Structure 1
Amino acid sequence: MTPSKEWMIFFNDRFNEKYKVGVEQFLNYAFKKTSEENNIRCPCVKCNNTDYGSREVVEMHLNVNGIMPNYTTWYHHGERLGESSSDDEESEGSDCDEILRDLYPNMDGFYRSGSEIGSSNENKHGEEPNDEAKKFYRLLKDSEQPTYPGCDTSKLSVLVKLLHIKSIGRWSNESFDMLLQLLKQILPIGSNLPESYYDSKKIIKDLGLSYQKIDACKNDCMLYWKEEDKSNMCKICGASRWKENSHNEETKVRKNGKKLAVKTLRYFPLKPRLQRLFMSKKTASFMRWHHEKRVDDGLMRHPADSMAWKSFDDLHKDFSIEPRNVRLGLASDGFQPFTHSKKSYSIWPVILIPYNLPPWMCMKESNFILSSLIPGPEGPGDAIDVYLQPLIEELKEFIWEFVWLEYQR
């Protein structure tokens, strides 16, 4: 088991006690795991794991120069892929509590352990709780409800981990349903896990992990949203919005009676995802890195070092003076989502990269922000601007909010 790596984030504050303790733990681990008895590779920012040194030399280098911030897997010092970390154990029981505190900072401590979740706020103050409060109470109830009687792990924690495994393992919805049904049979009577993927999604939805479905013209002419939300035909090319049966030309219908659209855009609202970056104590300080921590020594390490970034700052001084203002990069490309398919198909994800973060974080896949999933079977080509309308609309809202805040100052 590797020691905690939390100390590595303090490489710019090497007088911090956590950093010094972390260096000691790293050295103990490295000399225990590697075959070299007297010397190990030095992972400081100057040696870059190319030079060897004794424990005293490596310790001095780490304290003076700082450790390489992107060296998060210590493969030169004995760490193996899949090896557990003490960080995992420390966060296992508190992850869901942290998520709730980040999402609802003003409600921290409400109806915590030992309280009656069912007796909600309106009983004490005579007021009906708003939608945000209702979501909080539902999540709080699930976070305090054990998976089964006597279990130490909460229903919400287990469900989040199961859905994470489903995503990483690329399980189908049907296979996830089968797993939940099997767990229902294995676990003791009184298990609180949902019985289907659909029920699981309804619980997780309150965490803000949801998206909007917006139907699109099959010829990429327009989106059926806003004033066109109820339209059945494209106002540009006249194509039908709905899938039709090839035999009798009747509109295809789901089991629940809803019509099937030919194309559907999945849009992930940007605002709650940006808010979460600032609400989480693990990422909030890093959102000012480009302004407060970047070293301007003429070397190109980050987009903030580029001439384009500096020119933008000169042109928009009101925007650049506030380090919390968000800088985003946009990327999109198509790929074949189906491994074995006779027909060619290309789905286009639109990805946003938060450039406020330091270089070792902003280009990590876990920090990419999925904005949209543009459906196939062919790429949108020049019509990609049609599918970017919801994102552009939301970005315009941000601009007006920024202008309004500046005006209020």
Structure 2
Amino acid sequence: MAPCKEWMKHSRNDRLNVAYEIGVENFLRYAFEKSGEIEKIKCPCVKCSNASFQSLNMVKDHLLTYGIIEGYTFCITGERVGEDTFESQSSEEVGDDELLDDDNENEMDTILRDFFPNCSGFAENDSSSELRVEDLNEDAKKFFRLFDDMQKPLFQGAKSSRLSTIVNLLHIKTLGRWSNDSFTMLLQYLKDHLLPKDSTLPTSYYDAKKTTKDLGLSYKKINACVNDCMLFWKDDEQLEYCKICNASRWKQGKNSGEIRMKEYGKRIPEKVLRYFPLKPRLQRLFMCSKTAHHMRWHHERSVKDGVIELPADGKAWQHFDEKYAPFSSESRNFRLGLISDGFNPFSNVAKPYSIWPVMLVPYNLPPSMCMKPSSMLLAMLIPGPKGPCDAIDVYLQPLMEELKEFWEVGVETYDASKKVIFKMRAALLSTINDFPAYGMLSGCSTKGKRACPCCHK
């Protein structure tokens, strides 16, 4: 019989309780007895989220340090139905020998069902082609395209699906900092020399990106004036010349004066702002079952008096909560920090070049997660070769418009941890930058007279 789980109620506020420590001991003893010869089990602590395998001592340390994930109802090695769980299930719904945790669950399948919770039922109930050609909303069409690639093996007898293979290869490309051309060469070599003829692997980086674009990992290109006067977007999207300085939108040959063209006949713009929409990525933090419960950490954690662990413990956060009580009443609403600065992406220091990334930090996450590169959200890349200076406001327009929508209207979002849809809002709480960048973002003078932003001396 499974051990009592009352000890789990102490996880959030009182992990020093003796009952909690005894409960952890009994839980791990039971788990490893069930696992037989297995030396590692999935760790259900808040940090690992039941996603990584750890040894007995490591799982114990994690549970005592971080606590067990909220709403944990079944054993990491798989309790049998009918044993003491917080959520009751009848043996008619699940067979007596069926384990609640399936170690062989396809991770891509989990991601798709998290990202498209309203569409995943279609694939289970009716996967016929007749359903797919009917009038479906855009999310359903994206889901079925990705679902097809997930169900299709890379080749006959392959262990990995087409979608899983492409996603993993793109991940390796990013970590290895491969160029697009080198990635295309690798795909062509794999396709021509190592894989069977019936392989469905794409042969170019462009085709691989087309396959995964429905996951919402793309960005928008917005042309900008060469003198940073304006963006060619919204009502000005069709303009050929800057309406302020009358500069051409397109690059021109130095001698001929003709507009320069790419190989396939597309005109080359002078400057391109790359904007990464914020809405789908903030939604995915809630829609993904591995991160959703972390979004409420800043509200549900145990607060230590006199200790600042997170901006939530500071006076600015508390003042914000008092001033905007309706916003702060929903713990899942985002508080964001904005980071921006310029750097030279090229190794040739003799030719200065400054590109400005703008990133956002979600302060809802625990301190061990929110400042990691994987948690930061790249909002835009402001092009060089020089920094935007005072014209940074021109480039920030798309981001500010989206943040304004988050603040005033909100966005309907599915919370995978509570399985409900709620109206998610967001607020920009602070900026993180050096002193020159501070002057650009705030519009204040940071040199000469009245350079200090606090006392104006």
The verdict on a shared fold, with TM-score over 0.5 as the criterion, is yes
Give the C-alpha shift of residue 399 in structure 1.
Answer: 2.0
Contact 1:296 1:305 in 2 (8 A): no
* Residue aligning to 2:183: 176
- Partner AA of 2:293 in structure 1: S
Aligned to 1:175, the other structure's residue is in SS state helix
* Residue aligning to 2:167: 160
Give the C-alpha shift of residue 342 in structure 1.
Answer: 4.3
TM alignment of 1:55-74, pairs within 5 A: 66-67=64-65
Instruction: Please identify runs of 4+ aligned residues in structure 1 that moved more than 6 A.
Output: 22-25, 58-63, 90-93, 403-406
Name the CA distance, whole Å, in 1 between partners of 2:218 and 2:62. Answer: 43
Q: Which moved more, 1:285-294 or 1:187-196?
A: 285-294
Give the C-alpha shift of residue 179 in structure 1.
Answer: 0.5
Matched, 1:292 2:300: yes
- Partner AA of 1:223 in structure 2: L
Give the C-alpha shift of residue 111 in structure 1.
Answer: 2.8
Matched, 1:233 2:245: no
Please report the RMSD computed on the Cα atoms of aligned residues, expressed in angstroms. 3.1
* Residue aligning to 1:314: 322
Contact 2:155 2:200 in 1 (8 A): yes
Deviations 1:140-177 (A, max 9, x none): 00001111111010010010011111111111111111
> Against the structure 1 CA distance between its residues 150 and 403, is the aligned structure 2 distance closer, same or farther, given a 3 Å change threshold?
closer
Matched, 1:121 2:131: yes
> Against the structure 1 CA distance between its residues 334 and 301, is the aligned structure 2 distance closer, same or farther, given a 3 Å change threshold?
same
Give the C-alpha shift of residue 62 in structure 1.
Answer: 7.1
* Residue aligning to 1:107: 119
Contact 1:93 1:153 in 2 (8 A): no
* Residue aligning to 2:157: 150
Question: What is the number of equivalent residue pairs in this alignment?
Answer: 341
- Partner AA of 2:299 in structure 1: H
> Against the structure 1 CA distance between its residues 62 and 402, is the aligned structure 2 distance closer, same or farther, given a 3 Å change threshold?
closer
Name the CA distance, whole Å, in 2 between partners of 1:200 and 1:243. Answer: 29
1:369 to 352, 356, 377: 377
Give the C-alpha shift of residue 102 in structure 1.
Answer: 1.2
TM alignment of 1:2-401, pairs within 5 A: 12=12, 15=20, 21=28, 66-67=64-65, 94-112=106-124, 119-122=129-132, 127-185=134-192, 186-340=194-348, 342-401=350-409
Q: Which has the higher helix share?
A: 1
- Partner AA of 1:210 in structure 2: S
Deviations 1:296-355 (A, max 9, x none): 412111100111111111111111111011100000011111224642111111000000
Contact 2:356 2:384 in 1 (8 A): yes
Contact 2:132 2:141 in 1 (8 A): no
> Against the structure 1 CA distance between its residues 19 and 370, is the aligned structure 2 distance closer, same or farther, given a 3 Å change threshold?
farther
Name the CA distance, whole Å, in 1 between partners of 2:26 and 2:360. Answer: 32
- Partner AA of 2:318 in structure 1: K
Which runs of 5 or more structure 1 residues have no equivalent in the other structure? 1-9, 26-31, 33-54, 70-89
Give the C-alpha shift of residue 122 in structure 1.
Answer: 5.0
User: Could you tell me the percent identity over the aligned residues?
Assistant: 52
Normalised by the length of structure 2, the TM-score is 0.68
Give the C-alpha shift of residue 237 in structure 1.
Answer: 1.4
